[in-house]
């Protein structure tokens, strides 16, 4: 029977592996697989997947529409007319929205990249009798998730 658990790469993982070895599971029956962190560069444009919570053009479209509306309304009073002031409002709102989005995403990207997101999967081969104790050791040492696999 295999037991699979995931951990953040930390000292609690090392402590957990030592406790499992002290319990009597040989090192040959323990496999730890560290996962590489994805180095994600910030994107300027939207992606096809709208579920990834990356939308850079929403604020630009919103601000562009609002400023274009005001440019069209007040363009009747101003010298160049409503069409020119509407286009000026559209360009100003779009650029302002892109700048705000870029600056906030740059700050959030730095904050996210400092977080430790690297995970380690641990797979342990044990007997049916050892399973309960091994799972207890894994949960006591802050495992993110634990699963039993019976083959």
What confidence tens digit (pLDDT) does each residue in 122-143 have? 999 988 888 999 999 999 998 8
Q: Report whether pLDDT(102) > 90.
A: no
Question: In angstroms, rounded to a whole number, what is the distance separating the alpha carbons of residues 117 and 35?
Answer: 10
Q: Report whether pLDDT(83) > 70.
A: yes
In total, the chain counts a number of residues equal to 151
Q: What percent of the chain has pLDDT over 70?
A: 81
Q: Who contacts 118 (Cβ-Cβ below 8 Å, separation ≥6)?
A: 8, 9, 34, 35, 36, 37
pLDDT at 66: 95
State phi, psi for 74 to the nearest 5 degrees. -80, -10
Pairing verdict, β 119-125 and 145-149: unpaired
pLDDT in tens, 11-54: 888 999 999 999 999 999 999 998 877 665 555 555 555 555 56
Question: In angstroms, rounded to a whole number, what is the distance separating the alpha carbons of residues 24 and 42?
Answer: 46
pLDDT at 151: 79
pLDDT at 35: 84
* Partners of residue 119 on adjacent β-strands: 8
Task: Please state, rounded to an integer, the average pLDDT across all residues of the chain.
Answer: 84
């Amino acid at each position: 029977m295999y037991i699979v658990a995931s951990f953040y790469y930390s000292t609690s993982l090392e402590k957990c592996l030592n406790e499992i070895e002290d319990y009597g599971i040989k090192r040959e029956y323990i496999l730890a697989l560290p996962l590489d962190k994805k180095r994600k560069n910030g994107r300027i444009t939207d992606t096809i997947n709208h579920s990834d919570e990356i939308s850079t053009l929403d604020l630009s479209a919103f601000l562009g529409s609002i400023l274009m509306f005001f440019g069209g309304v007040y363009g009747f009073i101003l010298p160049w007319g409503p069409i020119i002031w509407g286009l000026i409002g559209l360009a100003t709102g779009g650029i302002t929205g892109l700048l705000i989005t870029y600056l906030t995403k740059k700050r959030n990207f730095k904050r996210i990249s400092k977080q430790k997101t690297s995970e380690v999967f641990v797979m342990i081969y044990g007997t049916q009798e050892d399973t309960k104790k091994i799972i207890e050791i894994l949960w006591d040492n802050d495992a993110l998730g634990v699963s039993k696999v019976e083959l």
